[in-house]
Amino acid sequence: MMSFPGEGDVARIHQDDVEAVRERTDIVALIQQYVGLKKSGRSFAGLCPFHTEKTASFTVDPSKQVYYCFGCQAGGNAFHFLMGVESLTFPESVERLAKQAGITLRYEGLSPGDRKAASRRQALFRANARAADLYHRFLVDHREAAEARRYLEARGISKETAVEFGIGFAPGYPDFLLRRLAREFSPEILVEAGLALKDAAGGVRDRFRNRVTFPVHDLTGQAVGFGARLLTGEGPKYLNSPETPVYRKGEMLYNLHRAKAQVTDSGRAYVVEGYTDVIALHQDGVPTAVATCGTALSEGHLRLLSRFGRQAVLAFDSDEAGARAAERAYGFMSQHPVEVRVLVLPEGLDPADFVKARGAQAFQEMAEAAVPLVEYMIRRSLGTQELGSPEGKARAVRETLPIVAGLQDSVLRSQYAGVLAELAGVKIREVQEQLEWSPRGISAEAERSRDRESPRPREPRDHPIREVEKEALKLLMQFPDLAGDRLEALDDEHFSYEAHRKVLAILRKSTGQPPAEVIGRLQEERMARLVAELAVEPVKVQGQVGKEYAERVFSRLEEFFLTRRIDIMKKRLERTNPLTESTSFDSLYEELIALEGERRKVRARAGEGT
């Protein structure tokens, strides 16, 4: 049996069930739901979802079914990944993957109350999925939804597209969902899922009534919430699901689960304001559009996009909407490796109306000319100034300069100083002089983000002894045939780092087991990360890994081991009096001579070392 970390001895699951789920889970397919991966030799590489980076240091090894980030040292198997990226407990991650694999888990020692608490998140997912299905079937089949179907037709949304996106209709009566889901979910679950709400008198009623519904999905394709457009009657035009344990608006983008593969391939995503804008673009051949879910563009959205694409084009129907989004994105854009551009469509057309009138090709042609975010902000600021006089130009530069001064990248700061000078009609030297006296920095929001996201400073990792010990452990894990019988021949004294000694013990206990299974049995997160690193990180040799390289590594390991023994022997000799303890002194001296002779032989085998 496996006891879940943090669950004590209450929740237990058969170990063979856990292993069955792990074996049936394709870790590359799982991680590609969250991260854009590119093939790199025998592994896959991408930007780490656990910390902010601009160069891919996140590696997935399909043969070992493990992942590892060389930037923040996050690593493990499929369960660890899901726990980290979805903030799940271990049992929740096993249950999620078991459901996808079609495996029924067997529990022991789990009371009905414990089982209910452990599956509450799953109940929220199921409730949203059932609601999406009911709303969609009502739209397609029911005569009361005729007006909703006419609305979609008027928006140019075909029946096939409505089916693909799961668009539905919530009728006007207050207990449509409550009555139909009463046997499956309690009113409390429906309220927690955002599908129902309590009124002032304490009664419970459906949240969405007389509205066209657009289900929102997480990156794995599970329905987690809704955007709902009022058809007739009173109320806000759009009503969105509230924040729930499975729906975090600041980290969710509508349609990204469907668009992520194309975003990875093309490198570009279009960020629009409305659900119907996304659908219209998709229907007309632009499958890489996403939308925020009833909230302003946030750092979480940009961080999410940076996992899959290199460029985000913010497409809006007015300069005012573009300005609001640009100002928010400016505060944290430097923290993420995604280039942000701004596209303001002409004549006040939203993206849906634009592609309906002019087509997808015209939209994409305009997107090619989208303005980089900083240039857009400079142009907009100068557009409000009077540039016809020297005084006006000086005032315009002073008021626009903070946009340039706030850039952390010195190359960008220099380049945009030139853009500002050209657009304002002044000499670049004058702008640069102003920059020298202008305070630099990033917004408080971006500063907090950097402190929160950046990996902590680490001790130097390239000490020769440490590197040789790591190489030896990597050979034992990745090339056991080349290592020969060294797993049994080596002992703790060959390793000076306690963590490396622990790995050696782990390898001895798990001979022949795949790394993902070994990692799954480790209770200590730090050791799970280290084993994942050693299983994934390539050995440091050019070309083919052969016996000659393995011999050099293990010889160097033996050399360092002998050097430590020699140092100990010399200290013992220093403490031994050759006159009063001549027998002990001679014995120690002979042992020292033998050790130094052995070290010379090992050095000869090691050659130039690793």
Residue 471: inside a domain = yes
Is residue 227 within 8 A of residue 238, CB to CB? The reply is yes
Last residue of a domain, one of 247, 267, 296: 247
Q: Do residues 38 and 31 touch, judged by C-beta distance below 8 A?
A: no
- Please tell me whether residues 302 and 410 are part of one structural domain: no
- Does the pTM exceed 0.75? no
User: Tens digit of pLDDT for each residue in 224-248?
Assistant: 999 999 998 888 999 999 999 889 8
345 close to 355: Cβ distance less than 8 angstroms: no
Same domain, 77 and 39: yes
Decide if 452 is inside a domain: no
Q: Going by C-beta distance under 8 Å and a sequence separation of 6 or more, which residues neighbour residue 499?
A: 526, 527, 530
Q: Do 101 and 30 contact (CB within 8 A), yes or no?
A: no
Rounded Cα gap, residues 70 and 76, in angstroms: 13
On whether both 14 and 102 belong to a single domain, the answer is yes
Same domain (yes/no): 482, 601:
yes
- Characterise 167 by phi-psi region: left (phi > 0), alpha (psi -120 to 50), beta (else): beta
DSSP 8-state code for residue 8: T
Residue 130 sits in the same domain as residue 149 = yes
Number of domains in the chain: 5
- Can you give the pLDDT at residue 220? 81
Q: Are residues 568 and 521 in the same domain?
A: yes
Task: Note whether residue 45 is domain-resident.
Answer: yes
> Is there a domain that residue 390 lies in?
yes
Task: Mark whether 34 and 98 lie in a shared domain.
Answer: yes
Residues with Cβ within 8 Å of residue 481, at least 6 apart in sequence: none
Q: Distance (Å, rounded) from C-alpha 35 to C-alpha 267?
A: 13
| Residue 214, C-beta contacts closer than 8 angstroms, at least 6 positions apart | 165, 167, 226, 227, 228, 229, 254, 275
- Return the CA Rg of the chain: 31
Helices (H), 104-143: 112-118, 120-141
418 lies in the same domain as 519: no
Tell me the three state secondary structure of residue 461: coil
> Same structural domain for residues 594 and 502?
yes
271 and 309 share one domain? yes
What are the distances in angstroms from CA 600 to CA 554, 556, 596?
Answer: 15, 11, 6
Looking at the fold, whether 430 and 342 belong to one and the same domain comes out as no
The ranges of the chain with pLDDT < 50 are: 1-11, 441-461, 608-610
Q: Give the C-alpha separation, 373 to 376, whole Å.
A: 5
Answer whether residue 198 is part of any domain: yes
The answer to whether residue 40 is domain-embedded is yes
Give pLDDT, residue 213.
Answer: 98
Q: CB-based contacts of 65: which residues, under 8 Å, 6+ apart?
A: 22, 25, 27, 77, 78, 514, 515, 516
pLDDT at 366: 92
In this structure, what CATH number is given to the domain that contains residue 346?
3.40.1360.10
CA 448 to chain CA centroid, Å, is: 18
In a domain, 150, yes or no: yes
How far is residue 286's CA from residue 259's CA, in Å, rounded to a whole number? 10
CA neighbor of 496 nearest in space, from 550, 546, 568: 568
Range of the domain at 47: 2-118
**Domain end: 231, 247, 263, which one?**
247
Report the CATH number that the domain containing residue 12 is assigned in CATH: 3.90.580.10
pLDDT in tens, 484-500: 888 888 888 899 888 89
From the list 559, 535, 378, 400, the residue with the least C-alpha distance to 468 is 559
- The pLDDT, as a whole number, for residue 87 is 67
Considering only CA atoms, which of 314, 312, 336 is closest in space to residue 323? 314
489 and 602 co-located in one domain: yes
Nearest to 350 by CA among 417, 291, 434, 425: 291
pLDDT reported for residue 562: 92
